Chain A
Amino acid sequence: MQQAVLPIYRIDANRPDRTGRAMADLRAGFASWRLAWTLARLDLRNRYRGSVIGPFWVTLSTAALVAGMGLLYAQLFRLDIANYLPYLATSLIVWNALSAMVSEATTCLSNAEGVIRQLRLPLTTHALRCVFRNALNAAHSLPLILVVFALMGQWPGAEALLVIPGLVVLAVNALSVSLFLGMICARFRDIGPIVANAMQLAFFMTPVIWKPELLGEGAKWLPLNPFYTMLEMVRGPLVEGGGTLMTWVAALLYTGALGGIALAFFVRFRSRVAFWV
């Protein structure tokens, strides 16, 4: 259980240098990304141990959901299916990834209890593990979007490339949320269930299965919903000819705010996590 630590380890409770230590933690965590990546792959492999199609179960169930809901809601909302189905497929797949990310973030540190209390590792490693795991998982469903596009014969234009910055911003948020929720939920065990409930509510409050136009005038307030802006960064370029400038600005503002809060929290409480888990 030897750790590659700096030859000199000095810590003085009177001069904690919290910022320096937090930054060192982040640096060390990113430098050992291979560990986080390996652990994430093991997590997925173990989750579907013995299953024949493994993570593609998620893909299959999403496909069934998209087909079922697509037919039903196209009727209910009186929408053209060729137009609605690509929208719904993109929405649901991105939403599922986003919501899985948030809910797994709540346990990313408390589940690593055994390691945190035995090995000196950067906490960033555990957060990265959660981000990588969710990215890998999502990668199994994302191609489904292309299948739906092909079936409906609806292809986005060059603006689809905006998906790439969208996914990058999502990844930044994923890391922030892992660190932030991971720490809070390690300390207060009631936050996890609250987050799960909040996500449930957010699913209905956010235009995932319904289209923003249905709100009429109210649609202009939608950027106030952070989930909408996150979703729109990926969905917009794919099905709506690129998100509006407003959603991008709002998304970046939310990203900055979340990152700032997560970092402040990390700097202040990082050293306490070993006592919390």
Chain B
Amino acid sequence: MSEELELTPEQKKARDQRSKAIGLGLLGFVILVFVVTVFRKMQEMGLESAG
């Protein structure tokens, strides 16, 4: 049996802000990994064409 948790308005507001921050953080991480992958690939291709 799970107990229903009643959040206070302050807790709800804080949770919403944390959720947004987690969402933005994860999205930022995906973008960073994408950017790193693109630039590393470009570097590799540049090295190959130079060699």
Query: Do A and B belong to a common assembly?
Result: no
- Residue numbers of A with Cβ under 8 A of B are none
